[in-house]
């Protein structure tokens, strides 16, 4: 798969909403909220896009999501691109799979983007978004060229029930 220059984020939002309604995550469109992807959505411990590959293996695939994958619950996630704010970026490729470790795993997408680091603003958009639905197990692996801490940023959108984001009585 290749990298392209732009994505129609509103079209991705519509696809995620369609899938959320189909999966009955909410009964009505008005009961859903669309927002940007956060690090905790993929299983990172906080909402800062930083990945520690100090214990990883250079020139190899290293897990980004928790070791058992990240269960996608009551939401639909669409990942459409990548950026990196590290002074010396480490990640040159990403692989997205669906399925529990040790079972048949479906590869949803694999992208290499080392060439984006020659740009003044290192970011890229995937040729097709990678979508994970409710009740799927998301696995993300980074191909790194060296070990250390990286500023890997995944660009994506999330659709989930508004009640999960906005508490009752606070609308």
Q: Tell me: the pLDDT tens digits for 56-80?
A: 999 999 999 988 889 999 999 999 9
Q: Which stretch of 64-68, 100-104, 105-109, 111-115 has the lowest confidence by average pLDDT? A: 100-104
Share the mean pLDDT of the chain. 90
Distance, in Å, from the CA atom of 135 to the CA atom of 33, rounded to the nearest integer, reads: 18
Residue ranges of alpha helices (H) inside 5-96 are 9-22
- Look at residue 2 and tell me whether its pLDDT is greater than 80: no
Asked if 85 and 149 count as a contact pair (C-beta separation under 8 A), the reply is no
CATH (residue range 3-163): 2.60.120
pTM for this structure?
0.90
Cα–Cα distances (Å) from 66 to 10, 45, 165, 166, in that order, read 30, 10, 23, 27
């Amino acid at each position: 798969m290749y990298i392209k220059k732009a994505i129609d984020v509103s079209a991705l939002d519509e696809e995620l909403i369609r899938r959320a309604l189909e999966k009955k995550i909410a009964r009505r469109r008005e009961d859903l909220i669309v927002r940007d992807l956060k690090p905790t959505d993929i299983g990172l411990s906080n909402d800062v896009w930083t990945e520690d590959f100090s214990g990883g293996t250079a020139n190899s695939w290293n897990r980004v999501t928790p070791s058992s994958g990240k269960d996608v619950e009551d939401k639909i996630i669409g990942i459409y691109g990548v950026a990196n704010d590290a002074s010396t970026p480490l990640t040159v490729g990403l692989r997205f799979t669906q399925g529990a470790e040790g079972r048949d795993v479906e590869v949803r997408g694999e992208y290499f983007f080392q060439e984006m680091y020659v740009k003044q603003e290192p970011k890229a958009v995937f040729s097709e978004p990678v979508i994970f639905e409710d009740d799927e197990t998301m696995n993300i692996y980074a191909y790194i060229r060296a070990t250390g801490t990286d500023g890997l940023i995944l660009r994506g959108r999330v659709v989930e029930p508004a009640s999960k984001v906005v508490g009752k009585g606070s609308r």
